[in-house]
Amino acid sequence: MGAIQPKVGEPVSDELALVASAKAGDVAAFEELVRRYDRNVFRIAQHITQNREDAEDVVQDAFIKAYSNLKQFQGQSKFYTWLVRIAVNEALMKLRRRRPERMVSLDEEVKTEDDSVPREVADWSPNPEQQYTQAELREILDKTIHGLPASFRTVFVLRDVEGLSTEETADALELSIPAVKSRLLRARLQLRERLNKYFQKPSREKDKTNGSQKPISGDGNQ
State the Cα–Cα distance between residues 16 and 77, nearest whole angstrom.
11
Helices (H), 50-176: 52-68, 79-98, 134-146, 150-156, 166-173
Q: Is 168 exposed, middle or buried (0-12, 13-18, 19+ CB in 10 A)?
A: buried
Residues 174-201, buried b or exposed e (16+ Cβ, 10 A)?
ebeeebbbebbebbebbbebbbbebbbb
Interface residue with other proteins among 77, 78, 81, 211 (CB under 8 A) is 211
47 touches other proteins (CB under 8 A): yes
Q: Compute the 3-state secondary structure of the chain and give helix, strand, coil in percent, each to the nearest 5.
A: 60, 0, 35
93 touches other proteins (CB under 8 A): no
Residue 176 DSSP SS3: coil
State the Cα–Cα distance between residues 198 and 183, nearest whole angstrom.
24
Q: How far is the CB of 59 from other proteins (least distance, A)?
A: 5
Build a one-symbol-per-residue string for 107-146: x at contacts with other proteins by CB under 8 A, - elsewhere.
---------xxx--xxxx---xx----x--xx--xx--x-
Q: How far is the CB of 89 from other proteins (least distance, A)?
A: 17
65 touches other proteins (CB under 8 A): no
Total residues contacting other proteins by CB under 8 A comes to 70
Binding interface with other proteins (CB under 8 A)? 1-4, 7, 22-25, 27, 30-31, 34-35, 38-39, 42-43, 46-47, 55-56, 59-60, 63-64, 67-68, 70-71, 116-118, 121-124, 128-129, 134, 137-138, 141-142, 145, 156, 160-161, 163, 166, 181, 184-185, 188-189, 191-192, 195-196, 199, 210-212, 214, 216-220, 222
